[in-house]
Amino acid sequence: MKRSKQKSANDRAVYSEFGSAEANPLSRPDPPASEQKLTIQASRKGRKGKTVTVISGFQHSTTKLTELAKKLKSQCGSGGTVKDQTIEIQGDHAPKLVEVLKKLGYPVKISGG
């Protein structure tokens, strides 16, 4: 009588060089909107004189930031991008963005004059 060994998914050895996913700080859940302090600033530096509104202070994942940027761009009727945990919206839309972000529950402050 032959014995057949059946392997289940739990029998496989898995190699993990840098620890488990729980120890990875990038895999932790995003903090709620009310715990993030955002700063809005209009900037022209390095943009050939074009004004861009920069929102910084986010602690979200890239996918969540991209979704939020899409919502903010549609509210302002302009383009923009996500760069290094900041959202850049083309044009000077600081007052409008403060209004929209406060409705979403973010504490917002305008920086600069």
Please say if the pLDDT value at position 23 is more than 50: no
What pLDDT does residue 16 have?
A: 57
What Å distances lie between residue 24 and 20, 32, 89, CA to CA? 7, 19, 31
What pLDDT does residue 57 have?
A: 92
Q: pLDDT tens across 72-113, in order?
A: 999 999 999 999 999 999 999 999 999 999 999 999 999 986
pTM of the prediction? 0.72
- Cβ–Cβ under 8 Å, residues 41 and 111: yes
What pLDDT does residue 112 have?
A: 80
Supply the mean pLDDT for the chain.
Answer: 83
Q: Is 69 helix (H, G, I), strand (E, B) or coil?
A: helix
Distance of alpha carbon 15 from alpha carbon 71, whole angstroms? 40
Give the domains, in start order, of the chain with CATH numbers. Answer: 34-110 (3.30.780.10)
Question: Taking residues 27-32, what's their average pLDDT?
Answer: 75
